[in-house]
Amino acid sequence: MSIVSRGFHGRARDTRHTLPPGQYETTGFPVLSAGPTPVVPHDAWQFTVRTETGTEHTWNWDQLMALPSQTPTVDLHCVTKWSKFGTQWQGVPLDVLLADVESGAEYALVHSYGDYTTNLPLEDLLDGKAWIAYRYDGEDLAPEHGGPARLLVPHLYLWKSAKWVRGIRLLDEDEPGFWESVGYHDYGDPWREQRYQGD
C-alpha cells in the first residue's frame, strides 16, 4: 500500500515569514526612492485607470475612502535584499477599482506623482493580489513610504509597489517602466531572484 495517494504532488510552499533566496530580515522599514518625495495633499490627489481604448475611470480621495477596503498583513521583499515580515496595511483592492472597467488588456503601466512608472501583467493586480494602500501599521501612510497612497503588490519585489500612485494605464503590449528600462527585471519575482534582466 502506497503512503502517497495518486495525484499528490507535495505540499504547496508556505511562503509566510520565509526569506526568499538572497534576502535578509529587517525590523526597520528602509526608505529608498528614485527621486524626491512628492507632497500630494488629499484634496489634490486622484487616481485614474485609462484603458487601452482611451476610456478613463477616475477617483478622488473621498471617493477612494468610500470604497470597500481590506487590511492585509503581508511580507515585503526589496530588490536590495531586505525583507520585512508581517507588515499591516489598509487599502482598496484593485479588484474593486477595476470591477467596472471594460478592457481586454493584458498589461498595466503604473504611474506615480513624480513621474515614476513600473510595469506588471494585469493578472498580478487582480484576484486579491494588489491594493491601493493608504494606511500602514494603523496610521496614515507617510509620504516617505508612498503616502498618501501607494500600490501594494507584495508577491513581487517592492519596486513594483509604486509609491505616490496616481494611475494605471492598461496596455495590449508590455511597456517597461522606470527601473525596467535601465536593466531591472520586467517581472520581479523574489522567489526566483528576478532582480535584473536575464535573471
Instruction: Give domain limits for the chain.
Output: 46-192
The CA-atom distances, in angstroms, between 97 and each of 45, 50, 103 are 16, 12, 13
| pLDDT over 60 at 4, yes or no | no
CA 106, CA 125: separation in Å to the nearest integer?
11
| pLDDT over 90 at 131, yes or no | yes
Q: In whole numbers, what is the pLDDT of the chain averaged over residues?
A: 91
Which of the two residues, 125 and 11, has the higher pLDDT score?
125
CA 22, CA 99: separation in Å to the nearest integer?
37
How large is the average pLDDT for residues 190-194?
Answer: 97
Q: Which of 26-35, 99-108, 189-198 shows the lowest per-residue confidence on average (mean pLDDT)? A: 26-35
Q: Which of 4-18, 26-40, 76-90 shows the lowest per-residue confidence on average (mean pLDDT)? A: 4-18
| pLDDT over 60 at 2, yes or no | no
| pLDDT over 70 at 13, yes or no | no
What pairing do the DSSP bridges indicate for beta strands 131-136 and 82-93?
A: antiparallel
pLDDT digits (tens, 9 = 90+) for 19-72: 999 999 999 888 877 778 899 999 999 999 999 999 999 999 999 999 999 999
The residue written with cell numbers 528602509 in the block is 30
For the entire predicted model, the pTM comes to: 0.89
State the pLDDT at residue 16.
57
Phi, psi of 191 (to 5 degrees): -75, -15
Q: Encode burial over 72-82: b for 16+ CB neighbours within 10 A, e otherwise.
A: bebbbbbbebb
State the pLDDT at residue 9.
38
Assigned CATH topology for domain 46-192: Sulfite Oxidase; Chain A, domain 2 (3.90.420)
